[in-house]
Amino acid sequence: MSTGRKPLEGVKVIELATFIAAATTGRFLADLGADVIKIESAKGDPLRYTAPTEGRPLDMYENTTWELENGNKRCISLNMKDPEGKEAFFKLLEGADVLITNWRVQALQRAGLDYESLKERFPKLVYAICTGYGEFGPDKDLPGFDFTAFFARGGYLETLRQRGSVPMNVIPGLGDHNVGMNLAAGVLAALYQAKVTGKGEKVETSLFETAVHNMGMMVQAAQYTEVGEKYPINIRNANNPLNAAWRTKDDRFIQTCMPDFNVYFKRFITALGREDLAEDERYYPVQNLQKNGLGPEMYDICMEQFAKKDAKEWEKILTEYDIAHSLAQSWEELLEDPQAWENDCFYKMDYNGTERVLVRLPVRFREMGAPEYNKGPLIGEHSVEVLKEIGYSDEKIKEFLDKKTLYVWEDEKK
């Protein structure tokens, strides 16, 4: 339960966006107390219909993905192609502090909704945009999803696969959530500046730019072509054989991380029951291991040892030796992970008597407490109340509804 004042109470955010990345930004701001009003077409955000891809039932009332990205928001469905619909949008901006969008640059320019077109009319507005590939360059207008702009173009699929194998499987949302939180950080900085100076700002990031930053350490290291293994690699040939996932007797994998081989080697090899190798100068320090070309041999030695015990046995041993490690968990195991529950990663939502576990955003505030978790709005659920708030009469709203400038979804099955 929320126990304190929310830091963004009184802030109004207009979200003109679809899918995940920009919606993540809006969701974070909504959790912090901002009034986030999502603009949708009559058909609705395509994200409402992705359930079959994710292995869920397609249900407008029980849509866990929609909740994750759009909980705590309000929604108005406007026909932005109707001049009166667009004018209603501009009236919303008059009282707004932030506009979030993920429309492509050319589409924004055609609609007169790009930053240059709006900044004179709304000088205090924080204009936040996320794109697939960035605002500039030859590919700025390509469609961008995290599968393509983040995982593929950003270096994940080519470098993080085992050499000789196909790229890893990817899932929706992983790159988008990174981008959305990056954009939120920029929005908060710009909001502070607008409060201090009275001047708005444009904040931008993209799936591609975020992936490049995430890969920064290895992208920079790739300049030193004469040193180390070129990715993709077979993990047996890694520069540090101790940073690997080990198959246990019960066919589970335990990932270990020992960034400095020389600091951890003796402790790790002893934990594995091969203390006879702890002082072996063929394998230690790492300079000798690499000079002798024995990295693959050390990998095989470790893998052989891990095959002798079950995962739970190894977890106990590695914990006793203070070796950073983690069992490779399934999503089903994550749902029951006590560490996740203790740190408030999850929320239980009731869907007509059925309880589902939903994921919270990963930032905590001590004094504010955990934010409430309201379901994401139905298409146009708040259309009427939002227009009333900005001065539209009942008669005008009815006119808008009649000519489909404004839309409120109704369940045809009822």
Nearest Cα neighbor of 152 from 138, 136, 166 is 166
Q: Which of 31, 97, 146, 176 is catalytic?
A: 176
Task: Tokens 């740190």: give the residue.
Answer: 343
Residue 51 in tokens: 């359930």
The 3-state DSSP class for residue 406 equals strand
- Map residue 269 onto helix, strand or coil: helix
Task: Give the CA count within 13 Å in the CB-facing half-sphere of 157.
Answer: 15
Non-local CB neighbours of 78 within 8 Å, separated by 6+ positions = 39, 40, 85, 88, 89, 383, 405, 406, 407
Known active-site residue 300: no
Beta strand spans in 154-207 (E): 201-206
Please report where in the chains the tokens 């709304």 appear, as a residue.
122
DSSP per-residue codes, 320-368: HTT--EEE---HHHHTT-HHHHHTT-EEEEEETTEEEEEEPPS---TTT
The catalytic site residues sit at 176
